Amino acid sequence: MVANDLRQRIRDKSVFIFSLVVPLALMGVLNLSFGGFDTGNVDLKPAVVVASSEDSGQLGDALLEAVDSLPIMDVTVRKVAASDVSRETKDTGAELGIILPADFTTAVTSGQAPSVQVVEGDAAGIETDVLISVVDGLLGQFAAGTEAAEAGESAGLPHDVLGGIAQQAAAGTPALTLSEGHASAGQLSLKGTLVAGQTGLFLLFTVGFGVLGLLAEREEGTLSRLQSTPVAPGTIITAKALVGFILGVVATAILLAAGSILFGVSFGAPAVVALLVLAVAAAATSLTFIVARLVRSAEQANIAQSILAMVLGIAGGAFFPIEASGFLATLMDLNPIAAFIRGLGVTAGGGGVTDVAVPLAVMLGFATVATLASRVLPDRGARG
């Protein structure tokens, strides 16, 4: 029965349309509409710095050279007189103005606190904030010279060596270096959420083809003939449910793979993702048992399946994240689609089987409760 039904469903073009074509098309539309918000990079615009340096030493020029050669953005340093920095910054639309005092190097090398005046431009933005942070960081390194000189003086070192210690501390390499990294947030990117959400949503439609086959045979009168054959009780319904489960697993796997390739997202280890796919397909299939008991025709089944799919899909975050608190948040956490998306977020961050134990438990628990509930519901189709 399973093999026969699968052949019939494969010949039915509606399976491919609702299980693959429509969700892939919707993924593409949503990614075109919202995919631009998914970038984690900030493009810094070229910046102009109006600077004045009357410093007779080398540290003033070193500071401006460091600002001019930033690797993260294109910076142009224009040198003017100190009295013209503020006016030039405002008139030319420069992002920042810098005024270095004449005794800048002397202050650093003698253990005194260096002072720099900065002027923000009228169109100050993120570029200005970055430049100020860079200048502040350089001054912090130079200030290390002051701290080193003060420590040397407290230790009783001769005054003629304090300047050398301060200069060495200011120009030396830091004891610690930082490198940028990425920590897993346990959440999918926007593109990943759209792919996973649409996959989970249309899974609920895909598994419905199993119950539709059952109701179609009931309406055509072939179900009663099948029941008259020597088969174990429940075999027919189990076979129909297995058809929906297989279709759901295959369609979900194809959609996740296609979404990964087309939209450049990764869901982590395939073996762990496969467990999530099997669990969410089981949860979705369990709903077909309830639908099959409550409806009397294939038309009613289509309507009921669509309502359940849209409610669970939207509440699970198929289109956009849903924020809730209290009892409503707890109830939404039991949504198998939400658990599926949450599990994929964990695997995308490198999580293993133990890390997705809670989402797996939610989906399998949902499948168990729905299956047991279907056993006590009245079979309206059989009565009709």
Segment 126-137, tens digit of pLDDT: 888 888 888 887
- pLDDT tens, 80-116? 888 888 888 888 888 888 888 888 777 766 656 667 8
Side-chain-facing half-sphere of 138: CA atoms under 13 Å: 20
Residue 285 contacts residue 244 (beta carbons within 8 Å): yes
Average pLDDT (47-65) is 81
* 358 vs 127, more confident: 358
Task: Supply 346's token pair.
Answer: 């964990």
How many C-beta neighbours within 10 Å does residue 151 have? Answer: 15
Strands 47-53 and 75-79: what pairing? parallel
Q: Which of the residue ranges 5-19, 113-127, 217-231, 276-290 would you say has the lowest mean pLDDT?
A: 217-231
Of 68, 169, 144, 59, the residue nearest 104 (C-alpha):
59
Fold designation for 47-171: abc type-2 transporter like fold (3.40.1710)
Average pLDDT, the chain: 77
Amino acid 250: pLDDT: 92
Residue 226 contacts residue 217 (beta carbons within 8 Å): yes
Strands 75-79 and 96-100: what pairing? unpaired
